[in-house]
Amino acid sequence: MNAQLDNRRKIKEMEVMVADVINETPDATTLVLFTGNDRLDYKAGHFLTIDPHQFEALERFTAFLEDLKGKKEPPRAYSLTSTPHEKYLAITIKEERYITGVTKYPPLLSPLLVKRTASGMKMVVTGFTGPYTLPDNIGSDTKHIVHICAGSGIVPNYSIIKFALMNHPEIKHTLLYSSKSYHDIIFRDTLLDLSLKSNGKLNVIFTLTREENSAIYGKNFRKGRITTDLLKEIIPDPSCCNLFVCGPAISIHEKREAKIAGIELKNRFFEAVLEGLLDLGVPKDRIQHETYG
Task: Encode pLDDT of 139-190 as tens digits.
Answer: 887 899 999 999 999 999 999 999 999 999 999 999 999 999 999 999 999 9
- The CA-atom distances, in angstroms, between 179 and each of 25, 38, 148, 151 are 11, 36, 11, 6
Please report the DSSP string for 36-97 in residue order: TT------TT-EEEE-GGG-GGGHHHHHHHHHHHTSPPPPEEEEB-S-TTSSSEEEEEEPP-
Q: SS3 for 236? A: coil
Task: Encode pLDDT of 59-75 as tens digits.
Answer: 999 999 999 999 999 99
Nearest-CA neighbor of 80 among 151, 155, 133? 155
Nearest-CA neighbor of 242 among 130, 137, 129? 137
Residue 253 predicted with pLDDT over 70: yes
Q: Are 233 and 203 in contact, with CB atoms under 8 Å apart?
A: no
Q: Assess whether the previous peptide bond of 55 is cis (omega < 30° from 0).
A: no
- What is the predicted pLDDT for the residue at 10? 64
Residue 4 predicted with pLDDT over 80: no
Longest dimension (CA), the chain: 55
Residue 2 predicted with pLDDT over 60: no
Q: Are 46 and 133 in contact, with CB atoms under 8 Å apart?
A: yes
Residue 231 predicted with pLDDT over 60: yes
Task: Encode pLDDT of 97-116 as tens digits.
Answer: 998 877 889 999 999 999 99
